[in-house]
Amino acid sequence: MSRTIPSTIRKVRLSHRNLVRRAQREPPRDAKHTIAPGSTGLAPPGDTIFRFQIPSDDEVAHFLAHQKTLDFSYSPTGFTNAPAPDDWEVDHNRICLGQGRAVFERGKAALRAWTMFDLGWVRLRPVGVPLLVGQQVCVMASSLGVIAVNACRIVQTFDEAGASGEAVHRFGFTYGTLPGHVERGEERFVVTWDPANDEVWYDILAYSQPRHPLARLGKPWVRRQQARFAQDSMAAMFSAVTDPH
């Protein structure tokens, strides 16, 4: 079953308009941030982008091309393989998808298709990116009439068959944030199958910190959106595995 997220998040009193104004008055020292209106092009490459319309495929390609020249926005990479440092938010959610190798194989196929991002309010571009270290994706999340365009790069992949008949099989990947992202940190997406009990699980682990001033000012709201993504992602994976057609 999915983990219930404690309802401890305070309501954000500031309107989106006020958040934008405050962010513009308080620009960060280490990067530029732009709110790009309507159908204009994306802001200077490498910046975190907020849009009022979904960017075109060409704009996304241009955005990611520059991200390829940049380092991750945190360090060290791969740190989700160990306990999180004290000052990082930790979100660990999992759901049982069913039982048996066939369910595991469908879960693997769903991960390869990035099904956990096909949520309507969240979408991923480009479509069909292979799960390979170094591949980059643009995650677009819509809320309050604004689309946040976020860049991530795959840090690590997993395709581990159990060494014995009782060992857990694991498949998935971890991606990390680039400078063009409102947050900084890593997120791991894994499907496991344990032959000992035949159970198949979808597991999401994220370590994050707010990076953009809007994410810092509206942290309670951001945390609510992160919880929403985890729940919707698990629902999408469960649906894909139990009703693959």
**4-45 pLDDT per residue, tens:** 433 333 333 333 334 333 333 333 333 343 434 343 344 444
| pLDDT higher than threshold 80 for residue 152 | yes
**78-103 pLDDT per residue, tens:** 999 999 999 999 999 999 999 999 99
- pLDDT band at residue 164 under the 50/70/90 scheme: low
Q: Report CA-CA distances (Å) from 173 to 39, 83, 114.
A: 34, 17, 11
**168-208 pLDDT per residue, tens:** 999 999 999 999 999 999 999 999 999 999 999 999 999 99
- pLDDT band at residue 50 under the 50/70/90 scheme: confident
Q: Give the per-residue pLDDT at 37.
A: 39
Q: Give the per-residue pLDDT at 229.
A: 98
**121-134 pLDDT per residue, tens:** 999 999 999 999 99
CA distance 218 to 208: 14
Q: Give the per-residue pLDDT at 100.
A: 96
Helix (H, G, I), strand (E, B) or coil at 190: strand
Query: What is the total residue count of the chain?
Result: 245
| Mean pLDDT, residues 138-148 taken together | 92
CA-wise closest residue to 56 among 138, 128, 122, 131: 138
CA distance 79 to 97: 26
Q: Give the per-residue pLDDT at 19.
A: 34
**109-122 pLDDT per residue, tens:** 999 999 999 999 99
Q: Give the per-residue pLDDT at 245.
A: 63
Question: Average model confidence (pLDDT) for the chain?
Answer: 83
Look up the CATH superfamily of 20-73+88-242: START domain (3.30.530.20)
Rounded to the nearest 10 degrees, what angle do helices 219-242 and 101-112 cross at? 130
The structural domains of the chain, with segments of one domain joined by +, span 20-73+88-242
